[in-house]
Amino acid sequence: MTKQYDVITLFPEMFDAIADSGVTRRALDEKVWALTCWNPRDFATDKYRTIDDRPFGGGPGMVMKAEPLNAAIDAAIQRQQDLQLAHFTNKPKVVHLTPQARPITDAGIRQLVEEPGLVFLCGRYEGIDERLIEARVDLEISIGDYVLSGGELAAMVLIDAMVRLLPGVLNTPESAIEDSFSPARDGYLDHPHYTRPEVWNGATVPTELMSGNHAGIAKWRRKLVLERTLKRRPDLLDSAGLSKEDLKLLNEIHQKQK
Ligand code: 9D3
């Protein structure tokens, strides 16, 4: 079934980035997923279509008003339920993108993509009236501990990460299975990749990859997966269950360092 992603945003044009390019665009064309943006400004009822106001208690900046966001969320949920009428009529979860949440992980993306549809709420300015968040938000997600200008890029990051996991989206399904962080690689990093020419800028390709010996190539790659993870992200190695073969390879890596 087509995944339905609705986004509440003051900047719907930003989503052209995932709608108009790359695998996300192709998957949209193939109706693997659908995107609908809702601008809270279109739900503001006053003459000036006001979507923000000054914070109670004073302080810098502006706060997004509850009511236009509330009406936009209602419209998005109503439309998702209309679309799903023939199937099951569960309410989609409302996801608030905020730096004040636990950063999403690969496991989190894989949980999120199981939902038939989601409504993403993107904040701008200082944030959103807390009462709207309490009343309407099911889930809060950050994409990492750094500061963006708004929730839009974060919503696109989540959508991109989810869509590429959907059946038929990637040319080679193996590349999603074997990606860095994927459970199939025990959460390790990927090995390095090489293509033609055989010598570039004076640099050759590791001889193991030119041997045609598939078992040898697999062993070399596994060793580089472990070496890379050990060097770059030792935190990922700790949490993975190491097999006897992996321990042997790690031993070889250890010998080499001396
Ligand atoms: C200037 C307001 N800041 C006071 C500490 C808080 C703040 C609110 C909203 C800072 C940035 C933002 C905009 N960011 C997001 O909406 C956001 C985000 C992020 O900034 N980093 C990582 N993940 C996310 S998800 C949404």
3-state secondary structure of 204: strand
Q: What integer pLDDT is reported at residue 89 of this predicted model? A: 63
3-state secondary structure of 8: strand
* Residues forming CATH 3.40.1280.10 domain(s) in the chain: 3-163
Q: Is the pLDDT of residue 69 over 70?
A: yes
3-state secondary structure of 179: coil
What average pLDDT is seen over the chain? 94
* Ligand 1 centroid from CA 147, angstroms: 5
| Mean pLDDT across 209-221 | 97
Helix (H) or strand (E) holding 64: strand 63-64
Q: What integer pLDDT is reported at residue 239 of this predicted model? A: 67
Q: What integer pLDDT is reported at residue 80 of this predicted model? A: 93
For the domain made up of 3-163, the CATH class stated in words is alpha beta
> pLDDT over 90 for what percent of the chain?
85
* Ligand 1 centroid from CA 149, angstroms: 6
Q: What integer pLDDT is reported at residue 85 of this predicted model? A: 64
What is the residue with the minimal CA distance to atom 6 of ligand 1? 126
Within 10 Å of residue 107's Cβ, how many Cβ atoms?
A: 11
Strand order from edge to edge, sheet including 3-8: 33-38, 3-8, 117-122, 93-97, 139-141
Q: Is the pLDDT of residue 3 over 80?
A: yes
Return the ligand 1 atom nearest residue 61 CA: 1
Instruction: Indicate the pLDDT class of residue 240, thresholds 50, 70 and 90.
Output: low
Q: Is the pLDDT of residue 58 over 90?
A: yes
Provide long-range contacts, Cβ within 8 A and 24+ apart, for 230-233. Answer: 232/189, 233/189
What is the spatial distance between Cα 34 and Cα 162, in angstroms, rounded to a whole number?
13
pTM above 0.85, yes or no: yes
Q: Which of 16-20, 22-26, 175-179 has the lowest mean pLDDT?
A: 175-179
Greatest C-alpha distance within the chain: 74
* Residues forming CATH 1.10.1270.20 domain(s) in the chain: 178-257
Q: State whether the beta carbon of 199 lies less than 6 angstroms from ligand 1.
A: no
Supply φ then ψ for residue 122, to 5 degrees: -105, 125
Best CATH choice for the domain 178-257 from the list 1.10.1270.20, 3.40.50.2300, 1.10.620.20, 1.10.490.10: 1.10.1270.20
* Ligand 1 centroid from CA 8, angstroms: 16
Select the more confidently predicted residue: 2 or 187. Answer: 2
Q: What integer pLDDT is reported at residue 182 of this predicted model? A: 72
What is the spatial distance between Cα 183 and Cα 164, in angstroms, rounded to a whole number?
16
Q: What integer pLDDT is reported at residue 201 of this predicted model? A: 98
What is the spatial distance between Cα 194 and Cα 131, in angstroms, rounded to a whole number?
53
| Mean pLDDT across 136-157 | 98
Q: What integer pLDDT is reported at residue 88 of this predicted model? A: 58
| Mean pLDDT across 124-144 | 97
Helix (H) or strand (E) holding 149: none
Instruction: Indicate the pLDDT class of residue 91, thresholds 50, 70 and 90.
Output: very high
Q: What integer pLDDT is reported at residue 173 of this predicted model? A: 63
